[in-house]
Amino acid sequence: MALAGALLGAAALPASAQPAIASTAAAVAAPDVLDLDISGALAKLESGETTSVALVSEYLARMAAYDTAYGDQPGLNALITVNQEALAEAAELDSERAAGVIRGALHGVPIVVKDNYATADMPTSGGSASLATFQPDADSTAVERLRAAGAIIIAKSNMSEFSFSGKNSISSVRGAANNPYDQALTTGGSSGGVAASVAAAFSTAGVGTDTCGSLLGPSVHQSLVGFRPTMGLTSVSGVLPLSPRQDVSGPVGKSVTDTAILLQVLAGYDPADPLTVMADKQNGADYVAGLSDRALEGKRIAVANWDWSLFGPVAGSDEVIALYEQSVVDLEAQGAIIVDVPFSLAFAGSLPSGGMLDVRAGIDDFFASTPATWPAGLAELTAPADALTWSDIAADAKFSSTISPAVAAYITAQADIPNPAYDAAGAAWQSGRAAIDAYFADNDIDAIALPTSPNPATPDEASNPFCGLGAFTGIPTMTIPTGFTSAGLPAGLELAAPRSEDAELLAMGYDYEQATRHRAAPSTTPELAHPTPQPQPTETPAPAPGDTGSTTPSTASTSGDRLAATGVTGTGVWLSAGIAVLFAGAGSLALRRSRRQES
């Protein structure tokens, strides 16, 4: 199933399918959103310069314009499901704001989430065509927290199937996600659809998952800030896993401030995820409040050293490394102390986690613990017929190129947990965690710096090859833009901090970001053109018999009457660029809340 056919012009949308939007005193012009982040959106909402309806309308218009083929571009293929209730939710949140009710830090802000997060109102495919109609009964903890903070989940994004690739985001449900900085190139994986959506302004920011490089890789190659938090700081309950021993949930944004805002919403103890007990060690209020443009002063930073050419250089790799070397100079200029305690990537590679031995068990546990309506006939493909398992997915065999027959067989053959090999790997994992903790403590190190990737994106790969530094040890890592190659491809700086020092890491990243400000939006998805709003003539009704002939104008204009006749009143912002999203027809993946796939 594909999204093609779900994004159509407004003229194709029947009036009966258009949501009724609560009227306001005046129409609100569509805002420019290409560089709009969470902070900017909140400022516009709080000042009354825009509304959530206007924001959602503009983002939906951009999805319609850029996610499928247009002009000489193939389109981003960044999305799997668009939330057809987004405008109605936005109208409700606007009404609450007008009444002085603010749910939380994201009130009325559109956010995109990766399609491995369970959502009660949209299917959760994990990038698998076999699961295109897998409909959970409840939201994952992360989505629940986003909604409680007032966020609008505007869409669910494309991803590498079952999060299995860190090189690209190819799914059997949507195909390959493309990079908005050059649509002939990949987004990276596995949260590539989230990053493409944020970079191309399909939403203010996004939330993805990371097993090894799945947040930082797509972020660096799309000039974004990606943050992999300390393992256990954010809940992964209700998330279709890849490897529970390494999986984390984390933010992707246009700025460090955005990632801090999202982390403050996502972080915290969750009884459904025992690992989050460690979240109580941190004060979530520090993530935003602790941001400072002087945070690098006196910080001791070890610089990774390696022969970067060993990582398969491509055109532009020398420029990426030059940008990294300049970033180290910039860190020092902000007051950081570059210490003579080199960090070898060989050390990071010697810290195994035992992850990827738990893929089958993790997926089976997700199906068993997630109440949902299953795709018709899927569970019956293998025994037991009354349980949905990985073996059913393997038997369905609808995989994309992300998962080869050998990979599918490898997952299928994995033993139940616990088992001796997995237990032994766990012991090695604990030793590795202790080793990295000792490295920071023994050398009095506040952070480690390295290039997020030594290579720019290619058609097949846009990765974070040093992902094991955070994934194998559970320490927090982040990427911040460092600029662009001469071909216009983004590069980034990766910073890693000691366990549970997430607030300090965000602050250091913020200091570097504010001093350098390297991010720039992609050119292939520019702002949409909007006609200049024209004043609408008013009508003076004919005096009624006995009327004294008052000249007070009517409060309803002819355009307002026309909008009312189509079920859209007052605001006139039903996709203000004249583009709508059609959530009907065979093959559409955007399903109404009330619609459930019968098993």
Measured distance CA(573)–CA(50) in Å, rounded? 11
Count Cβ neighbours within 10 Å for each residue of 501-528 and write b for 16 or more, e otherwise.
Answer: bbbbbbbbbbbbbbebebbebbebbebb
- Report helix, strand or coil for 511: helix
CA–CA distance, 219 with 208 (Å, rounded to integer): 10
39 part of the active site: no
Query: Cis before residue 522, ω within 30 degrees of 0?
Result: no
Cβ pair 282, 267 in contact under 8 A: yes
Residue 599 three-state SS: coil
* Half-sphere exposure of residue 37: CA atoms within 13 angstroms, side-chain side: 18
From CA 258, how far away is CA 109, in angstroms rounded? 12
Task: Name the active-site residue from 130, 157, 163, 214.
Answer: 214
- Catalytic-role residue among 128, 130, 172, 190: 190
List all residues 6 or more positions away from 318 whose beta carbon is below 8 Å from its beta carbon.
Answer: none
Cα–Cα distance for residue pair 416/207, rounded to 1 Å: 30
Q: How far is CA 537 from CA 110, 453, 541, 558, 569, in A?
A: 33, 57, 13, 8, 17
State the catalytic residue, choosing from 114, 156, 254, 299: 114
The torsion of the CA quartet 496, 502, 506, 512, rounded to 10 degrees, works out to -30
Burial of 307 (0-12, 13-18, 19+ CB in 10 A): exposed
SS3 216: helix
Residue 365 Cα to chain centre, angstroms: 24
Backbone angles phi, psi at 418, to 5 degrees: -80, 160
Please, are residues 444 and 492 in contact by the beta-carbon 8 Å criterion? Answer: no
Whether 109 and 33 have beta carbons less than 8 Å apart is answered as no
Element (H, E) at 153: strand 152-157
How far apart, in whole angstroms, are the C-alpha atoms of residue 467 and residue 410? 22
Residue 214 annotated among the catalytic residues of the structure: yes
Which one, of 441, 446, 436, lies nearest residue 509 by Cα?
Answer: 446
44 classed as catalytic? no
Beta bridge partners, 9, equal 579
**CA nearest to 411, candidates 420, 113, 402:** 402
Catalytic residues: 114, 190, 214
